[in-house]
Amino acid sequence: MTLKIKNLINAIKAVNSQDRPLPFSVYSSIKEQHLLNVPVVKPLFIAVLDGDKKLGKEGEIVCHAGDFIFLSDNPAINMRNIPKEKEYFALLIEFDYQDFDGIGAKTISEKSYSIGEISIALAKCLQQFVEWSQFSPKELWSLRRKEILHLLYHLGHKDILAMATPHKLGQKIHAILTEQPAAEISLTAICQQVAMSESTVRRKLAAEGTTVQEIKDQVKLGLGLHLLQTTSHAIVYIAEQCGYQSQSRFSSRFKARFGLTPSALRKTKAKS
């Protein structure tokens, strides 16, 4: 492990131990995690700092420690997080679409991802982002995310702009549901917020290959996956936060989506 990566990991662990909202997430495990149908809702930057990450049905996309991958929105992608000597450890930063404004000319690419090496400049930028988040108000998070995008662009990773796809109706509905993931928001209420009729909403979502119910499941189970990866909350509490009346119902739906139960996922993070 290089010094730049070691310093970044130490900074992340120090800041992540604090009980406050942060503009990044940390996913780690000491045993391999094999997750199916993981939703990516917004452009997502993943810096793999220890272990390997494999994506795709056959694990055809590979990120080693010291690499990053930038993903565009994707309703379901398979992921394997593979520990090496000690653990799998990754820094995740989710970007809003407006973060990309003014960086460069938008590009179009058939690829839904961009891979690169974490250079010294990028590692220092990420470390500053992490350390700065200890005292920065949430209103300034977008400014520092834009700094990361500008740096990536000027380091030659111009294909990251292709990860900022145009807004879709499904993304708007996802954002609405994310505000109250445990609530049961009716189709009528959703249509009022997007100012469309029910038939128009159904037609537009069908064209995007999804439905309101699929987006609801994506929101609830995506939150469940995130909480299981980033907190030590009891599974029954996480189920409630995701809008499930029972832990067994949550566990059943979780396994159907991701291929393993919440308990099995938790076991990858704890020493036996």
Which one of 119, 143, 163 terminates a domain? 163
- What is the pLDDT at residue 166? 67
pLDDT band for position 271 (cuts 50, 70, 90): low
Q: Is residue 159 part of a domain?
A: yes
Question: Structural domain tally of the chain?
Answer: 2
Band (pLDDT 50/70/90 cuts) for residue 1 is confident
Q: Decide if pLDDT at 108 tops 80.
A: no
**Mean model confidence pLDDT for the chain:** 93
The residue among 146, 163, 180 that closes a domain is: 163
Q: Does residue 16 lie within any of the structural domains?
A: yes
- Do 139 and 237 share a domain, yes or no? no
Residue 186 and residue 159 share a domain: no
User: Cα separations (Å) of 77 from 30, 50, 71, 166, 268?
Assistant: 22, 21, 10, 20, 20
pLDDT of residue 20: 82
Confidence band for 272, pLDDT divided at 50, 70 and 90: very low
Domain boundary among 128, 163, 198: 163
Q: Do 65 and 156 belong to one domain?
A: yes
Residue 136 CB partners (closer than 8 Å, separation 6+): 23, 144
Q: Is the pTM of this model over 0.85?
A: yes
CATH number reported for the structural domain that contains residue 221 in this entry:
1.10.10.60
Q: Each residue of 37-57: pLDDT tens digit?
A: 999 989 999 999 999 999 998
Q: Which residues fall within 8 angstroms of residue 143, CB to CB, at 6 or more apart?
A: none
Considering only residues 109 and 221, tell me which one the structure prediction assigns the higher pLDDT: 221
pLDDT of residue 59: 85
Which residue type, as a one-letter code, is found at position 235?
I
88 & 182 share domain: no
Is 272 inside a domain boundary?
A: no
Full domain range(s) for residue 248: 169-267
Q: In this predicted model, what pLDDT tens digit does every residue of 68-85 receive, in sequence order?
A: 999 998 889 999 999 988
CB neighbour list of residue 231: distance below 8 Å, 6 or more residues apart: 238
pLDDT over threshold 90, residue 106 = no
Of 32-41, 157-166, 204-213, the one with minimum mean pLDDT is: 157-166
Q: How many CB atoms lie within 10 A of CB 234?
A: 11
Residue 228 has a pLDDT of 96
